[in-house]
Amino acid sequence: MSAKTTIEWTETTWNPVTGCKKVSSGCKNCYAERMARRLQAMGQPRYRNGFEVTLQPQALLEPLRWKRPRLIFVNSMSDLFHQEVPLEFIQKVFSVMNRCSQHQFQILTKHSNRLKKLGTQLKWTNNIWIGVSVESQKYTARVDDLCCVPATLRFLSMEPLLGPIKELNLSGVSWVIVGGESGPKARPMEEAWVKLIRTICIDQNVPFFFKQWGGVRKKQNGRLLDGREWNELPKYELT
């Protein structure tokens, strides 16, 4: 089924895999884990295993039934390049994306090493975007792994942004998203950190998308930066 989403930089989510495991500081207060536990308690069959990594083969063909072109966030409730997701299943996910030229698919991973390792074994049609999460300067090496992947469009998600990132080479990167953590245990994000990344994007001519300030009261804090929304997207075409 198509899942509408409130995530500002996409339109629809598609979860052929659910569940994940924490790998870095950005995972500490994972929203997907909280949601998965809730859905499990409600008896939702896809979340019978809670937040354990679970393949959902019955969901594989869903995008083929969606005729209207749309932006699709792949595995908002998991990580496609998690070690527990077999290469053969990843290839099946890619096969569906390859067949759906009317859609644009957005994949985001923290497992950049595995992404780099498997990248040449996957078919990267122009409608597949690949991104990595970079929550602080400590994890900028993920950008190097990302740029080894033969995809047309690469992007960064700096959410939750947990510290200043002063050095960032965006060569080969087409888009940057920045956002603060939200939820009951949200860690703070400083305005200076956001503006520094925005400056880097402007200097290197990369579209900048500011998702949110986050915090315990996410809606109240909003998403204005210097009095305006920053909703820049990379250039792409829906067929």
Q: In this structure, is residue 208 part of a structural domain?
A: yes
Q: How far is CA 91 from the centre of its chain?
A: 19
Q: Are 9 and 177 in contact (CB under 8 A)?
A: yes
How far apart (Å, rounded) are the C-alpha atoms in residues 90 and 138? 28
Looking at residue 3, its pLDDT comes to 74
Q: What is the mean pLDDT of residues 190-204?
A: 98
Residues 96-149 have pLDDT tens digits of 999 999 999 999 999 999 999 999 999 999 999 999 999 999 999 999 999 999
Instruction: Compare 4 and 18 and report the one with higher pLDDT.
Output: 18
Amino acid at 213: W
Residue 1 pLDDT: 46
Task: Say if residue 93's pLDDT is above 50.
Answer: yes
Residue 176 backbone phi and psi in degrees, to 5: -135, 130
**Residue 108 within a domain:** yes
* Structural domains in the chain (count): 1
Instruction: Give the C-alpha separation, 146 to 209, whole Å.
Output: 19
Contacts (Cβ under 8 Å, ≥6 apart) of 97: 63, 74, 103, 105, 125, 127, 128
Question: Token pair for residue 219?
Answer: 């809606």
Tell whether 159 is covered by a domain. yes
Asked whether residue 115 is assigned to any structural domain, the reply reads yes
Banded model confidence at residue 238, pLDDT cuts 50, 70, 90: low
Burial environment of residue 65 by CB neighbours within 10 A (0 to 12, 13 to 18, 19 or more): exposed
CA distance 34 to 164: 27
Q: Which residues contact 170 (CB under 8 A, 6 or more apart)?
A: 143, 156, 176, 200, 201, 204, 206
User: Is 182 within a domain?
Assistant: yes
Query: Tens of pLDDT along 155-172?
Result: 999 999 999 999 999 999
- Per-residue pLDDT tens over the stretch 37-59: 999 999 999 999 999 999 999 99
Please tell me the pTM assigned to this model.
0.96
Distance between CA 206 and CA 198 in Å, rounded? 9
- Averaged confidence pLDDT in the chain: 96
Structural domain harbouring 139: 3-13+60-221
Residue 24, in any domain of the structure: no
pLDDT at 90 over 70: yes
Per-residue model confidence (pLDDT) at position 237: 72
Structural domain contains residue 234: no
Q: Identify the pLDDT of residue 236.
A: 86
User: Is position 143 within any domain?
Assistant: yes
The confidence band for 239, taking pLDDT boundaries of 50, 70 and 90, is: low
Split at pLDDT 50, 70, 90, the class of 195 is very high
